[in-house]
Every structure is written in structure tokens, then in C-alpha cells.
Amino acid sequence: MNRRLWGCVIAAALVLGTATGCSENSGSLPAVNTENPAFASITNSSKDPTSSSSKPSSDAPESTLDTKVDPALQETLDGYEDFFKEYTKYIENYKASDSAMLQAYAAQSEEISKKLENFDTNGLNAKEEIYLSDVKYRINKMLDSVKDKLPEWNDEKGEYELPFMKKMPESSRTPAFSSMPPLPELPELPELPELPSLDQLPDGSSSSSSSSKKPSSSSKPSSSKKPAESSSGGTLLDKPVSSDEPTESTTTENYSLPEIIDVSSPDTSSLITDYTRKWAYNQLNSSQKEAYARLYESASNYLGNINISDLKLNQSDIDTAYWAFDYDNAQFLTLGSGYTYSYTNSGEVVQMGIDYGRSPENVPSSEFESVTRSVINEAQRMGSDYECLKYVHDWIVNNTSYISSGPVSKSEADGPVIYGQALCEGYSKAFMYFAQSMGYECVCISGYSNGDHMWNMVKVGGSWYHVDVTWDDPISSSGPVLRHNYFLVSDSTISSDHTIDNYFSVPSAPYDYQ
């Protein structure tokens, strides 16, 4: 019996959580085009600016941003990724009556895995190679999450079977999948009673592991009119978890914690690296600041879980500390959807860790530094603070198309800078990176504007102002639009269609820039 699918076990949060919100195992396999899309016609023809809703400005610095990910290639790779999302959900919810579909899923998984492993990269540009690498990484991570549940090939039977079957005595095994009749549908389980709150649980030396996810930020304006204010009843502080971003909770006795890490002194030579000068950090209490500093050290060195048991923090404290860290720093391109944490039955959080979206090997760090340095050099040639910040604002708008779904980079600074695609989080992180690199205090702000949304506040000449680069790059049927309706504006102006709902207090912006 030979394994044909790769992977190694990762956090149990991903394994158990994948089942959350999964549908019943029924229907047919998702349609996937398994033809290798790396054919001769996939070339740098994607440089055509009409392939983006926001074509580059003629005065933008020349760079590899002239290249785009070919739509045909992206569609094929996205199809592969979507297939594995369905496959891993299917494995988590496997029922014996679905044996025929198991065979089909496993066979197609094998086929796509081989194609990705032997993918022909001839003719791909740099962005397409990075996109391919990102997709491979995420598929590997999905397969890792169900490694111990994946079907294995049985040479003797000439079919796939689940690992648990080989542990059963031969006499007690079920018939081969191909001959096994369908089983009746299982009845629905009754709803479980509501669990008691933490303060109702007895104190003890147990711990639970859970995760907090980054809020969805998917609003995008139309150029024809301002959208209505969000009618959502929830708040960003609730951080609801979508069905494809699960949490996991387990209880163990006699848990062990990593050593408390030593935090390096911040590099005070630049506002990018000196977090003690950043806005959100300075809104925290001393224990929250220490948690922030350890998160910064962790992100700088791509560390796993960190011990914070000495800080005596509760979930609300670490929630504030993590999002202050996230909203202050755009230079960490490996950040993902939030953080994980462990706590005792009394509610005291003893460890937390960054839920990384990518490994350092899958982040285009050198290209990112090269492109941002080129843009910053041009911006600093401008004659005033206004023109300097306007240059990077316009550069982001002219080089970025809004997307509602896609790779992890859509929510980080390299989304606009390298890939030319982003959510509002990516727009905001890119602007903050440029602004801080040039010495301007800048922070990300969360709230609502036709849905969950993110924008920036930046300090110019001693005063704070709002900047919403996303909303200055509206989707328009008539082509790319660049405007400055939300550039360096006051609280009064931004509040006409934005509502702040942040994790920490925000600066006051009493005036529009004059």
C-alpha cells in the first residue's frame, strides 16, 4: 500500500476546523480544467493595461509591475485551488455511502497534484511564477490539514481506501468500494445545548486553543454614487468567523509553554521599524505593549507560539494588542488571517501566535523592496508633503485593481505593489508602508463603509487626516478612475459615508487639508 499524496501534519485548528460549515457530501465533483495552462500563448501579453481596471500611470516608475498574471493562467490555478478546498472539506465529512465519489476525488487530486509538481513554467513572467508558488503553498497546506485522513492506494485491490480500514481485521472490513451498496442517509443530530461561559467553568490547569481571524474587508464603491452606509448589525470587535476560516478548541491537562522570548530593542533609525513611535502601540497599556512587542519579534523572525503567561492578559487584551500590531505594521508580508491563542479555564491567555498566511520563501521580499524604493525616490522629489503623499496615493490607484477574492497578498502591502490586485486592506497597508517609509506617522483604521472596510489616517504638519485610497479608485464601467475625494480629509468629511469601529482609539482629524 503506497501513499500517493504528500503533506505533513500542521495545527489541529486547521484539521478540525475544516469541517465547520461544510455541506453534506453529495452531488458531483467541481469542474476543473486539468490541462496545463503554461502553453506558448501565455506570455507577457498580459502587460496590456486593458486587462486591469486601473492601468498604470505614464509617470509611474518603470518596474516589473508592467507584467500581470495572465487571466487564463489565474483562472486555471484558482480552479485547482477551489478543487482542493472542496476535496479537503469532503474528506472531513466523509461518509461510507460516498465511496464512488471518494474514488473520483482521489483520482482527480492525484492528477492535479502531478500537474502542479511538473508544471511547465516556460513563458511565465515573474508575477505568474509567484502566483503559481502561492497556489502550490496553499494547496499543500490544505492537504497537510487532512493528511491522516487522505485515501491511500491499495495495489492489491486496485482502488483507494481510507487509512482507518487498514487497521481493521480483514474479516470485519466492509466490501470493496466498487461493490458496496449505498447506505441510508443518517438522521440529523439534535442541536447541542449552549456551553457555559468561562466564568462558570472551574479554575484548572487546562488550556484551550482557538483562533481569531481578520475581519472581512470587502467594500468597494461605485463611481456613479456613494454607497449607502452599512446596515450590518455586527461590529468588527466581534470578529465573526466565516465557515472557511475555522477555529478549533481542545482541552489538555498539564500543558507546556514555550520559553518567554527576548524582545530586541526596536530599530529607531526608521519609523517603519521603530514601533514605539507608532500610533496604535501608544494607545495600549503596559502589558498590551509587551504582547505587541513579542508579536513584533515573532513576525520579524517567523516564530511560532509565544509565551505571554506572565502578562496576565484576557482575550480582550490580546485582541486589542494583536490588531494594534497588525494595523501599525505593513512590512510583514507573511501575516495572514489573524492569530491563535491558548487560555486557562479561568480565561487567562497563556500563549498566542501569528496565524501566518505565507512562509518567508513565498513572499516576494526583494522585488517588493526594489519597487517601493523606486516609488519612494520619485515621491520624495515632490515639493511638499501634500504632493509627496499624493504621488504614492495616485501610484497605488493607477497600479491596482480591486478584487474581492484571491491570494493572501490581497490583504497585504504586496497586493498593490507587486501583484496589482488588492482588497481595501491591501490598499491601506501599501499606503501605510509608503507613508511610514518616508517618515509620516500613519495607521490603518477599521470600520464600515458599505460593509466592513479599512482606510488610513496620516499625520501631516502636526495634524491628522483621513485617506481612503480604495474609495479613490472606484469601479467604473467607463474605465479607470482616479479621484481625491478621500485624500487628507477631516473627521466630518469621512463620516459622511464611513463609520469608525476600531480596536483602539483613533486620532482626531478636525480639518480638511488646506
Q: Which helix (DSSP H) or strand (DSSP E) does residue 299 occupy?
A: helix 286-301
* Assigned domain for 388 exists: yes
Sheet hosting strand 338-343, strand order edge to edge: 251-253, 206-213, 338-343, 349-355, 306-307
**Helices 286-301 and 315-328, interaxial angle, to 10°?**
50
- Residue closest to 434 by CA, chosen among 358, 477, 373, 497: 373
Q: Domain boundary at 341, 359, 377, which?
A: 359
Residues 367 and 301 in one domain: no
3-state class (DSSP) for residue 189: coil
Report yes or no: 148 and 91 within 8 Å, Cβ to Cβ: no
* Assigned domain for 138 exists: yes
Give the DSSP letter of residue 475: B
What span, in angstroms and rounded, lies between the C-alpha atoms of 224 and 325? 36
When pLDDT is averaged across residues 19-38 and rounded to a whole number, the result is 51
Mean pLDDT of the chain: 73
Render pLDDT for 366-401 as a digit per residue (tens, 0 to 9). 999 999 999 999 999 998 999 999 999 999 999 999
Residues 283 and 373 in one domain: no
pLDDT given at position 252: 37
When pLDDT is averaged across residues 44-49 and rounded to a whole number, the result is 32
* Assigned domain for 505 exists: no
Task: Check which CATH number belongs to the domain holding 490 and give it.
Answer: 3.10.620.30
What span, in angstroms and rounded, lies between the C-alpha atoms of 420 and 52? 8
Report yes or no: 396 and 61 within 8 Å, Cβ to Cβ: no
What span, in angstroms and rounded, lies between the C-alpha atoms of 435 and 202? 49
Give the DSSP letter of residue 346: T
What distance, in Å, lies between the first and last C-alpha atoms of the chain?
A: 74
Residues 51 and 121 in one domain: yes
Residue 487 has pLDDT above 70, yes or no: yes
Residues 454 and 347 in one domain: no
| 278, amino acid identity | K
Q: Domain boundary at 344, 359, 374, which?
A: 359
Residues 391 and 350 in one domain: no
Residues 116 and 55 in one domain: yes
Residues 260 and 349 in one domain: yes
What span, in angstroms and rounded, lies between the C-alpha atoms of 254 and 234? 37
Phi, psi of 67 (to 5 degrees): -90, 150
When pLDDT is averaged across residues 408-430 and rounded to a whole number, the result is 93
Residues 312 and 410 in one domain: no
- Residue closest to 396 by CA, chosen among 369, 360, 423, 362: 423
Residues 355 and 366 in one domain: no
CA distances from 198 to 83, 227, 238, 318, 343 (A): 39, 40, 17, 16, 10
Residue 61 has pLDDT above 50, yes or no: no
* Assigned domain for 375 exists: yes
What span, in angstroms and rounded, lies between the C-alpha atoms of 3 and 9? 15
* Assigned domain for 186 exists: no
Render pLDDT for 250-259 as a digit per residue (tens, 0 to 9). 333 456 788 9
pLDDT given at position 12: 28
Render pLDDT for 171-218 as a digit per residue (tens, 0 to 9). 433 333 333 444 455 555 555 555 444 333 334 434 444 445 454 444
| 299, amino acid identity | A
Render pLDDT for 77-127 as a digit per residue (tens, 0 to 9). 878 888 888 887 777 766 554 566 777 777 788 888 888 888 888 888 877
**Helices 71-92 and 99-117, interaxial angle, to 10°?**
140
* Assigned domain for 306 exists: yes
Residues 110 and 255 in one domain: no
3-state class (DSSP) for residue 154: strand
What span, in angstroms and rounded, lies between the C-alpha atoms of 75 and 156? 38
Q: How many domains does the chain have?
A: 3
Share of the chain above pLDDT 70, in %: 65
Residues 414 and 286 in one domain: no
* Assigned domain for 343 exists: yes
Render pLDDT for 14-24 as a digit per residue (tens, 0 to 9). 222 333 333 34
Report yes or no: 433 and 330 within 8 Å, Cβ to Cβ: yes
Report yes or no: 239 and 212 within 8 Å, Cβ to Cβ: yes
- Residue closest to 482 by CA, chosen among 395, 417, 403, 411: 395
What span, in angstroms and rounded, lies between the C-alpha atoms of 168 and 92? 20
Domain that holds residue 422: 362-500
What span, in angstroms and rounded, lies between the C-alpha atoms of 427 and 41? 31
Which range has the top average pLDDT, 22-26, 267-271, 435-439? Answer: 435-439
Residues 336 and 207 in one domain: yes
What span, in angstroms and rounded, lies between the C-alpha atoms of 359 and 351? 21
Per the model's pLDDT, the better-predicted residue between 235 and 25 turns out to be: 25
* Assigned domain for 231 exists: no
All three cell numbers of 136, joined, read 502550490
Q: Domain boundary at 313, 343, 359, which?
A: 359
